[in-house]
Amino acid sequence: MRSMTRTFTDEELKRIINDLFEHFKKPWILEREFKPYLQAKGYTDEEIDEIWFQAFRKGLVIATGTLVGNKRELMIYKPSGEEEEWGCMAHQ
């Protein structure tokens, strides 16, 4: 099902994620924030899904949900400093 979508290399993913967090300057980014940003950079909706999900699977970000009003939304979180060294239990 996913074979039609583009595959990103580890370096590409790292770069995109780093750019994203540098742009927003905060450790939590909602999908409603990163999606328009990446769209503006020329990525398709499918590629954007691929970016956050692959970044999560490779342990670059924690992908989870948060409540915005009464609705849960996808958000990505980038551990930093002491948190980075502890890693994320989702990959252990």
Partner 1 sequence: MRIYYAHPVEIYHTPREFKEIEIIKRHYPQAEIVNPAYFQDKPGALHSNIDFFYSLVDSCDILIYSDLGGFVTAGVALEVKRALEQGKPVYRLDWRTGELTQIRELRNVLSLEETQSIIDAMIYLALDDVEIASIINNALSKHQGKVALLNIISSITNSPEYQKKERIKESSNINILSRFYHWWQEPGNASHIVDTGKLKDMISAKLSELGEKSMRSYILKTLKLSKTRYDYYTYLLKNRAPKPIEVRVLKRLCDDFKIPYVALEQHNAFTNIKFPIDLDKPGLFMLASHILNEGHMRTETKSIEYYNKDPVLHYYLKQRVEELGGSFSGPFEAHKAFASYIDPLTGRLLNAIGIPYGPRAQNQPFVSFKRMDNSTWKYHFQATLTEEGAITLRVMQDKRIGMKISLTRAIDITDLLPKNFVSSLDYGAHSIGKTISDEKIYRTIISNPPTLLQAEFEELTRRHSRQIPIYAWRPPYPYRIQKSKDDRITIHWALEIIKTHLVDLIYNYYGMLPGTWKSIAFEKRYQFYLEHRGQKLTENEIEELHQIEKQYPWEIPKQWINQKIKELFKSNGAPAGI
Position 90 contacts partner 1 (CB under 8 A):
yes
Position 69 contacts partner 1 (CB under 8 A):
yes
Position 62 contacts partner 1 (CB under 8 A):
yes
Cβ atoms 60, 17 nearer than 8 A? yes
Encode 21-47: b = buried (16+ Cβ within 10 Å), e = exposed.
beeeeeeebebebbbeebeeeebeeeb
Point out which span in 10-18, 33-41, 75-83 binds partner 1 (CB under 8 A).
75-83
Give the Cα separation of 60 and 39 in Å (integer).
20
Point out which span in 9-17, 34-42, 79-87 binds partner 1 (CB under 8 A).
79-87
66-57-2 Cα angle (round to 5): 100
Position 89 contacts partner 1 (CB under 8 A):
yes
Residues within the interface to partner 1 (CB under 8 A) = 1-2, 26-28, 49-50, 53, 56-57, 59, 62-67, 69-72, 74-75, 77, 79, 81-83, 85-86, 88-92
